[in-house]
Structure 1
Amino acid sequence: MCLLDAVKEWSDSAIACRASSHTDPANPLRAEGRLGAANGIEYAAQAMAIHGALIAGDDAAPRQGYLTSVRSVSLHVARLDDLPGELDVHAERLSGDANNILYQFSLSHAGRCLLEGRAAVVLDASALG
């Protein structure tokens, strides 16, 4: 399930994406026809995954990542499906090493912040023993 439409820009430390799938009645995250704002965390997680692949480069083997925690999440709206047009999805790498990464993320619409928080990602969890 790919929720993002495109990468707008990226660097070694951050990524900005756009999405319109929140308006799709067939969005698999909808419940009873609605897409709650907390589902925006999945949009951010997909941006983080794309960011990891982009900074790894073409020659690197894909690495499976796991979202291990989200913290300091603030939801500023109740739902996403009633917003026309595109969502802006941002993720910024705050710290990390080869296997553990801390991101700050946000979703916005027409310049208004919809949700924000931090997420910890573990890559190659089996290597942690």
Structure 2
Amino acid sequence: MLNREASTRDHDWIAAHIPHAGRMCLLDRVAAWDPHHVLCTVTSHRLPDHPLRQFGRLGAACGVEYAAQAMAVHGALLAGADADRIGRPGMLVGMRGVTLHVARLDDVAETLLVRAQRLGSSDAMLLYGFSISAGDRTLLDGRASVLLASAPDRSTNPNR
């Protein structure tokens, strides 16, 4: 069941908890989350000076970056419960089954809803499904693999 009390996780909280900085921190807020899902909202897709805009438009493929940031947010939310295993930095290493249902995002008037669902995990990898929608339209969806950084060696510094 998604936790709807996540509204206090606003843009400032997100910026402080994921590696994306400045204008590249694209998510507005966490709308809901649980151990397997996160739902974030986005309005930055309409900004004329969006950092990913090219040739006056924001292509739908840029939605993958929104999804990746939602996955990072999910890891940050879970890190409070298990920082050693879940809160490690990760790198997007693979995409599968990505379908772009629209050509661009900047012409979508509605707030975007970015959903990420953890489908599987190991000590080194995470697998997420994701979708981005606006209103009742799915704009893009797919799956992503995330390689986690090695866990810190606590044997040399047990206080970390």
What is the TM-score with the length of structure 1 in the denominator?
Answer: 0.92
The equivalences for 1:1-129 within 5 A come to 1-57=24-80, 60=83, 62-124=87-149
Larger radius of gyration: 2
Q: Which has the higher strand share?
A: 1
Total equivalences in the alignment: 127
| SS of match in other structure, 1:116 | strand
Give the whole-Å Cα distance in 2 for the aligned partners of 1:59 and 1:94.
18
> Which secondary structure state, in structure 1, belongs to the residue aligned with residue 62 of structure 2?
helix
The 8 Å contact of residues 69 and 120 in structure 1, kept in 2 or not, is answered as yes
Identity, in percent, stands at 54
1:81-128 per-position Cα deviation (integer Å, ceiling 9, x unaligned): 00113100000000002321000000001110000000000110699x
Q: 1:54 to 1:43 in 2, by over 3 A?
A: same
Structure 1 stretches of 4+ with a deviation exceeding 6 A read none
Greater relative contact order, per chain length (Cα 8 Å cut-off, separation 6+): 1
In structure 1, stretches of 5+ residues that fail to align are none
CA RMSD, Structure 1 to Structure 2 (Å): 1.8
Tell me which amino acid in the other structure corresponds to 1:104: G
Give the conservation status (yes or no) of the 8 Å contact 2:88–2:151: no
Contact 1:66 1:125 (8 Å CA) reproduced? no
Q: Which runs of 5+ in 2 are unaligned?
A: 1-23, 153-160
Structure having the higher helix fraction is 2
Structure 1 residues 73 and 27: CA distance shift in structure 2, 3 A: same
